[in-house]
């Protein structure tokens, strides 16, 4: 079983500016700070023409339903990896090391009239019988909150 989630982030900026922002470690760290992560390590590098973005973070498991908390514990370790093959297309993968499941999807940037829309389309899979579907729904809600934070920080970043 899996849950699909699509989320759009809109920026009043050209695609090139949004792509540059997404490749800026300072921006990625600002997003982590805004989300109040306990620890984070951001790495961005070019490998064979592909921009690799890795965000290794630990978050408090606040606001997570008690049935799910016994699976994840008091903190959640998340490794987010993005592979950008061009300025406007990439893939995303999120894992929680040592826990069942993963999140995989695509990221696309499209500009129209100087406004850029970032579309994140992901499939959430949690391999736990009986409660996996509920946990997928909770993770979807957490991802939406994280993407809202990224959009808020990004709008501020681009307005400077």
DSSP class of 126: -
Q: What is the pTM of this model?
A: 0.92
Given a cut of 90, whether residue 109 has pLDDT beyond it is: yes
Given a cut of 90, whether residue 73 has pLDDT beyond it is: no
- Higher-confidence position of 1 and 106: 106
Domains recognised in the chain with CATH numbers: 3-159 (3.30.530.20)
Question: Distance of alpha carbon 77 from its chain centroid, rounded?
Answer: 13
3-state class of 23 per DSSP?
A: coil
Given a cut of 80, whether residue 128 has pLDDT beyond it is: no
Cβ neighbours of 38 (radius 10 Å)? 12
Q: Is residue 29 classed exposed, middle or buried when 0-12, 13-18 and 19+ CB atoms within 10 A define those classes?
A: middle
Strand partners of residue 33: none
Average pLDDT over residues 96-102: 85
3-state secondary structure 125-160: ECCCCCCHHHHHHHHHHHHHHHHHHHHHHHHHHHHC
Q: Determine the pLDDT at residue 113.
A: 96
Asked if residue 154 lies in contact with residue 9, where contact means CB atoms within 8 angstroms, the answer is: yes
């Amino acid at each position: 079983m899996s849950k699909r989630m699509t989320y759009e982030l809109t920026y009043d900026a050209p695609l090139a500016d949004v792509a540059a922002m997404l490749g800026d470690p300072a921006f990625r760290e600002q997003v982590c700070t805004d989300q109040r992560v306990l620890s984070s390590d951001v790495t961005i590098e070019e490998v064979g023409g592909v921009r690799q973005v890795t965000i290794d973070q630990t978050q408090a498991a606040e606001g997570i339903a008690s049935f799910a908390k016994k699976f994840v514990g008091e903190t959640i370790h998340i490794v987010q990896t993005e592979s950008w093959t061009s300025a406007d297309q990439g893939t995303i993968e999120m894992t929680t090391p040592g826990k069942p499941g993963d999140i995989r999807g695509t990221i696309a940037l499209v500009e129209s009239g100087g406004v850029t829309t970032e579309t994140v389309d992901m499939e959430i899979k949690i391999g736990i019988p009986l409660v996996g579907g509920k946990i997928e729904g909770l993770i979807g809600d957490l991802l939406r909150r994280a993407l809202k934070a990224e959009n808020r920080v990004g709008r501020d970043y681009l307005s400077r």
